[in-house]
Structure 1
Amino acid sequence: MTEVHVVGIGLDGAAGLTDTVRQIVERATLLVGSDRLLSYFPSHPASRLVLGDFIQTIREIRAQLTVADMSACIVILATGDPLFFGLGRLLLEELPREQLTFHPHTSSVQLAFNRIKIPWQDARVISIHGRSMEPLTVALQQGVDKIAVLTDKTNTPGAIARLLVALDLSNRYEFWVCENLGGSDERVQCLSVDELSHKTFAPLNVVVLLRKSEPEEQVIDVNSLPLMGLPDEIFLSFSDRPGLITKREVRLLILGEMALQPRLTIWDIGAGTGSVSIEMARLSGTSQIYAIEKTAIGTTLIEQNCQRLQVKNVTSIHGNAPDILQHLPAPQRVFIGGSGGNLTAILDTCNVRLVPGGMVVLALATLEHLNAALDWFNYRHWQYRLLQVQISRSVPVGELTRFNPLNPVTILTAIRPVEE
């Protein structure tokens, strides 16, 4: 049976092959590969087949398999590890598995992490080489700690940098560009997003993104900030759930629904990082906002964000609603961003403690919570209105632009009846 060997090769060419693999290549009767890979063996006596049109190449290999004698040896040259986002998967689909033998070289991702001296067993590897950027977008929004990205001439390091900026993430990444790994002109650089915007790189490059474990200490000029609609990235967020924040566009709508006035007492239940509380506090400096959050880390983040943004009229309270609400002053406004599974009980407390004519605003992400809220308000004959929010942000895709949807939210605004 004719042997078909798939040999991974790096930028160091034939010199990077082991003796065993080099001997296999030397006895090849047919060499298949790109012009660049074939050039590493200029004096090889075997017939050559340039890998251009894949389907045509497979046809010619199959023809060789039918006529070749037992001494024939076909060697297909591939880059790095053929079974790692490489040619190997396609070959397994088209050629008899029992005739294929793979000889991997060190992959570009393996080299990249070793060059920057970072363990990579827990890294997420994403190929955007001829593929969509959507998996990378999802990984960045999830705050994955280590991401290796295989690029192409469209989805370049610069395009990835533009995506990072457009996503307006609260977490920060070190941005490494590793070019020509294993070659004589290898270059590995850690660059800022601003530097990336005007640089060009070798076509053979890998991007490594490393999420910074500690937030950057930023000196914030609060006078330069907008009165409302603060950027998401300005808030410190949960390290394990960096995307868990009420998004700027939704916050703006919530602020409008809250109908803020001077000297209000406001409860923000399920305050998370405090983004809504802080926005309300900056808009109504004479009001007092109580930010209730059940997690200790959330309470700490609220306090840190208040300090960073020089907000004095937010009180961060660690506790579970509705129990903790009994100890707070009666509010004129209540915002419920999270209920911890206690939505009905929280609304029962609002029914008692909220001043008549006061307002409750809820941000609901699930149909079940929306239905529970509607049942509650309908039974008690509260007036309410609904606003369904489905927002998409523009993100770059190479030199083009597409929309990336945020999670849909329903904003329910209700007024406690004034007793006659």
Structure 2
Amino acid sequence: MTQTHPPIAVIGIGDDGLDAAPAAVRQRIESADVVLGPERALRLLPASIGAKRIALSGDLEQLAAQLETVGDRRAALLVFGDPMFYGLARYVTERLGKERFEVIPHVSSMQLAFARVMEGWDEAYLTNVANHRLETVVEKIRTADRVGLFTSEEVGPAQVAQALLDRRIDYFNAYVCENLGARDERVTRGSLAEIAAQDFSSLNVMILVRHPDVPDRPRESVGQRVFGNPDEAFAQAQPKLGLLTSAEVRCLALAQLDIGPESVVWDVGAGSGSVSIEAAQLATRGAVYAIEQDPEDHGLIRENAERFGVRNISPVLGTAPDCWSGLPDPDCVFIAGGGREVARLSTDAYARLRSGGRLVCNVISIDNLAELRQAMLAENPDVRVWMVNIARGADQLGRLSFESLKPSFLLAVVKA
């Protein structure tokens, strides 16, 4: 492509201004006709630089318009750190075209922060909380060994630390590196509880380092699994104790649902929410709607969600299918029991499934299974059915015996 204007130099600097900049960078700025940048960056320039100075607007649309006015003049756009690492260069090069710019990076404040705490960052989870939901960031942190965060004025280190503690994620040492490269630079080290109780400058990088040999769960949750948790791990109602989907059947059902990280899941007839809980732990960036008409069980869904620390469950109190109207179309639907209504509910749920979505039903009556299968065959010829017979080992008088669970049936179908 023909170049009609001299390229705008996007130059990264530090809080020490041009003092630590290479000679070539200083010369590039000194030779510019116009220098653009945030006011904090422009104040670092010596008075000897006679270029016209333009303070950048915080609005990205206005920023692009300001750059368009540069025309044929030699221009330098100053930013802090590495312009391509959560910096303005990513936006302006995509908006105005890469041929309009050249990028001269400085040491990123993220790189400086990891150097200050003397931790490697080659495999760390790095992000900017201003660009992502805090819940999503917290879930990524849960399984990370090292984390580097650009925080924001709205979500600072204290808010991040408290969000982790609220999820019972307490197995990180935390560092907050403020005003890196400036004379008032400060590095604070502490537990998440200590960081949550302090205030910090808005110019900071937060580093998290995982305690050695700690699982990806709160300490009190060791033994809780992503799926297949023991039946007794869930709060259940009396006298209905034991009426939840058993751990073994739950594993088979979740496998057939094929839940992805961003799936939308309906659990119809959720009971105390065992399937919903484990579906939510699989759909970490998705949403699970636990649909239950019994008020007591509806309350247990909330209790179990808190017990397992999942936040992407929405308990829905109501009768199916009437309460489905306000729900987003699902990728996965699980229906348990259903009585004589199971065939009709499954047909209605199949109609709401997204293309490629999966419906799985668990019934205990062979009559209900036969009716359900015929209803699903009318929608899709590829219907799969399993009879599940499970016996659990038990100790009786010092000898191994087996106690059989009530046989049940699974039906699965994928929407073409």
- The two structures have a TM-score, normalised by structure 1, of 0.57
Distance in structure 2 (CA, Å) of the matches to 1:126 and 1:108? 13
- Say which SS state the counterpart of residue 75 (structure 2) adopts: strand
Distance 1:37 1:248 in 2: 58
Please show how residues 353-364 of structure 1 align to structure 2 within 5 Å.
362=250
Verify the 8 A CA contact 2:7 2:100 in the aligned structure 1. Answer: yes
Mapped contact 1:6–1:102 kept (Cα < 8 A): yes
3-state SS of paired residue (2:234): helix
1:8 counterpart = 2:12: yes
Shift, 1:247, TM fit: 8.0
CA 247–76 in structure 1, closer or farther in 2 if over 3 Å, else same:
farther
Cα 1:409–1:14 change in 2 (3 A) is: farther
The total of aligned residue pairs comes to 277
Q: Distance in 2 between matches of 1:159 and 1:106?
A: 27
Question: Structure 1 counterpart of 2:27, which letter?
Answer: Q
SS of equivalent to 2:18: helix
Cα offset for 1:258?
Answer: 8.3
Maintained 8 Å contact 1:161/1:197:
yes
CA offsets 1:220-268 (integer angstroms, 9 cap, x no match): xxxxxxxxxxx9541436xxxx9737789993335868848xxxxxxxx
Alignment counterpart, residue 63 of structure 1, candidates 39, 50, 69: 69
Any conservation in 1 of the 2:231–2:247 contact (CA below 8 Å)? no
Q: Is the 8 A contact 2:179 2:204 kept in 1?
A: yes
The one-letter amino acid paired with 1:118 is: E
Say which structure, 1 or 2, has more relative contact order (CA 8 Å, 6+ apart).
Answer: 1
Identity %: 26
Given residue 176 of structure 1, which amino acid in structure 2 is its aligned partner? Y
Q: Which 10-residue stretch deviates more, 203-212 or 91-100?
A: 91-100
Measured in 1, the distance between the counterparts of 2:27 and 2:35 equals: 13
Partners of 2:95 and 2:257 in 1: CA distance: 51
Aligned: 1:147 with 2:147? yes
CA contact (8 A) 1:365 1:408 kept: no
Aligned equivalent of 2:343: none
User: What displacement does 1:368 show?
Assistant: 2.4
Q: CA 1:249–1:16 in 2, change beyond 3 Å: closer, same or farther? A: farther
Task: Trace 1:22-171 onto structure 2 (pairs within 5 A).
Answer: 22-43=26-47, 44-52=49-57, 53-65=59-71, 68=72, 72-129=73-130, 131-141=132-142, 143-169=143-169
Q: Please give the TM-score of this superposition, normalised by the length of structure 2.
A: 0.58
Partner residue in 1 for 2:355:
none
- Note the C-alpha offset of 1:184: 1.4
Q: Tell me, in whole angstroms, the C-alpha distance in 2 between the residues paired with 1:4 and 1:138.
A: 39
> Does 1:368 pair with 2:256?
yes
Evaluate the alpha carbon distance shift between residue 403 and residue 335 of structure 1 in structure 2; reply closer, same or farther with a 3 A threshold.
Answer: closer
- The residue identity in structure 1 corresponding to 2:8 is V
Distance 1:365 1:32, change over 3 A: farther
- For residues 61 and 248 of structure 1, the distance between their equivalents in structure 2, rounded to whole angstroms, comes to 61
Q: Secondary structure at the match of 1:178?
A: strand
Q: Which residue of 2 aligns with 1:213?
A: 212
User: What is the CA–CA distance in structure 1 between the aligned matches of 2:26 and 2:311, rounded to whole Å?
Assistant: 49
Shift of 1:195: 1.4
CA contact (8 A) 1:5 1:101 kept: yes
Deviation for aligned residue 1:365: 5.5
| 1:358-382 deviation line (CA, Å, top 9, x unaligned) | xxxx566627279xxxxxxxxxxxx
CA shift for structure 1 position 79: 1.2
Q: Do the aligned partners of 1:130 and 1:152 also contact (CA within 8 Å) in 2?
A: no
The equivalent residue for 2:182 is 183
Residue 21 (str. 1) matches residue 25 (str. 2): yes
Aligned residue for 2:85, secondary structure, equals: coil
Q: Is the 8 A contact 1:363 1:410 kept in 2?
A: no
Distance 1:133 1:249 in 2: 31
The Cα offsets for residues 255-283 of structure 1, whole Å up to 9 and x where unpaired, read as 868848xxxxxxxxxxxxxxxxxxxxxxx
Which amino acid counterpart does residue 59 of structure 1 have in structure 2? A
Whether the aligned pair in 1 keeps the contact of 2:172 and 2:192 (CA below 8 Å) is no
Which runs of 5 or more residues in structure 2 are unaligned? 259-268, 277-289, 291-300, 315-331, 337-361, 365-404, 408-416
1:405 counterpart letter in structure 2: I
Alignment of 1:200-239 (within 5 A): 200-215=199-214, 233-236=219-222
Structure 1 unaligned regions, length at least 5: 217-230, 261-332, 344-361, 371-384, 395-401
CA distance in 2, matches of 1:156, 1:336: 43
1:337 to 242, 247, 255: 247
Offset of 1:20 from its aligned partner? 0.9
Query: How far apart are residue 139 of structure 1 and its match?
Result: 0.5
Q: What is the CA-CA distance between 1:96 and the residue it aligns to?
A: 3.5
